[in-house]
């Protein structure tokens, strides 16, 4: 065994400055008397009682789990920087003596082990919850709520219904359009139904059994909205907040300049388009006034600068390309059928994914004649 100094015959002082106490019963040669002697030989202090001077409490797992008096006192000081007390296993003491150096306490800490077990259990519960939700709704471990790229509107809406005569208070649907974390992106519509304001256990649904491309799931999202609210999703800004009757739910669009999502030009309220047009006109006038005036006394002005035939041809070609690009972008922006979502992704729905209709389980008892299949509790139901 290595010694502290050549010829002294004493072990290295690896426990200098440490005050070590015990908690629990150890077997074999690890008796309290032997441990006390081995600690003192290595310049440490052994305490037979727990005190504020103790820096390390060596205890068994059983004693730590029981939270005996010494363990409770050490735990109370475990997070105090000035009077910290490490709660370690006997392996720390044994390995330190064997290696002839003080080893890191974190690898032998009962507190660190307990935290790791709690984190593992929390992760297992999260995974189990995700698997359970995957059977009924959308697994949020692999999907996130979709944001509209035009104004970063979050596709997480609430459809509410209150009717005192029917005794309905706080009934609502929370509808979300999800996007997969992995590429290429897949999409899914998930729904949570709350029967009342105090309902804490919502029913989970998804409109289709398998995810699909954006265009298909976006159409499902809009169709469900229209069935429950009574008017198309594109008309949400011009319809107002009020419900169309006790049968339908109401939707409150974001206000105060918050993102509202893509809306066709014909359904944008005038109070929203007028300020935008005023800003554009003001910007054009400011640019016009800031333009430098031409020097009339100059022999050759900017407009009269001579150009060669090759330069003129290049300018004509550039002008044609700009006009063509502007025309394409205008057609895309004005298209009432194609919102500006993920313009870099292919949004064409395949012929295999013919849009079905919503189920009565997801729509409710007041469903209309056109309904779609909904996956509920792992089974596809069609009404």
Supply the pTM of this predicted model. Answer: 0.47
- List the one residue out of 83, 57, 82 whose CA is nearest residue 72: 57
263 pLDDT higher than 80: yes
Question: What count of Cα atoms within 13 Å lies in the side-chain half-sphere of residue 58?
Answer: 23
pLDDT tens for 101-118 read 999 888 898 888 778 877
Q: Is 4 exposed, middle or buried (0-12, 13-18, 19+ CB in 10 A)?
A: middle
Query: 172: pLDDT confidence band, cut at 50, 70 and 90?
Result: very high
Q: Residue 303 pLDDT more than 50?
A: no
Chain center to CA of 285: 44
Residue 326 in 3-state DSSP? helix
pLDDT at 129: 66
> pLDDT tens digits for 132-147?
555 567 888 899 999 9
Residue 78: pLDDT over 90: no
């Amino acid at each position: 065994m290595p010694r502290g100094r050549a010829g002294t015959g004493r072990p290295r002082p690896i426990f200098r400055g440490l005050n070590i106490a015990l908690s629990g019963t150890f077997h074999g040669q690890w008796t309290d008397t032997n441990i006390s002697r081995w600690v003192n030989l290595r310049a440490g202090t052994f305490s037979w009682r727990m005190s504020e001077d103790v820096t390390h409490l060596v205890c068994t797992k059983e004693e730590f789990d029981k939270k005996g008096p010494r363990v409770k006192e050490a735990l109370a000081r475990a997070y105090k920087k000035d009077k910290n007390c490490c709660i370690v296993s006997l392996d720390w003491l044994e390995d330190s003596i064997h290696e002839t150096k003080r080893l890191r306490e974190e690898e032998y800490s009962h507190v660190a082990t307990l935290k790791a077990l709690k984190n593992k259990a929390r992760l297992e519960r999260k995974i189990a919850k995700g698997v359970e939700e995957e059977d009924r709704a959308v697994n949020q471990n692999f999907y996130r709520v979709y944001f509209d790229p035009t104004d970063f509107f979050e596709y997480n809406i609430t459809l509410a219904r209150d009717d005192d005569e029917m005794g309905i208070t706080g009934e609502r649907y929370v509808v979300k359009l999800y996007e997969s974390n992995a590429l290429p992106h897949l999409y899914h519509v998930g729904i949570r139904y709350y029967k009342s304001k105090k309902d804490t256990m919502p029913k989970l649904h998804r409109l289709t059994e398998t995810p699909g491309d954006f265009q298909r799931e976006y159409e499902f999202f809009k169709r469900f909205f229209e069935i429950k609210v009574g008017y198309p999703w594109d008309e949400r800004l011009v319809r107002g907040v009020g419900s169309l009757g006790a049968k339908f739910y109401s939707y409150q669009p974001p206000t105060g300049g918050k993102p509202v999502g893509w809306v066709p030009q014909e359904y944008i309220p005038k109070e929203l388009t007028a300020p935008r047009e005023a800003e554009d006109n003001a910007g054009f006038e400011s640019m016009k006034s800031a333009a430098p005036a031409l020097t009339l006394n100059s022999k050759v002005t900017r407009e009269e600068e001579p150009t060669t035939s090759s330069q003129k041809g290049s300018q004509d070609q550039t002008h044609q390309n700009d006009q063509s690009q502007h025309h394409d972008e205008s057609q895309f922006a004005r298209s009432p059928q194609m919102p500006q979502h993920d313009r870099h992704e292919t949004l064409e729905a395949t012929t295999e994914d013919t849009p079905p209709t919503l189920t009565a389980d997801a729509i409710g008892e007041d469903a209309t004649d056109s309904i779609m299949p909904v996956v509920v509790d792992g089974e596809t139901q069609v009404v």
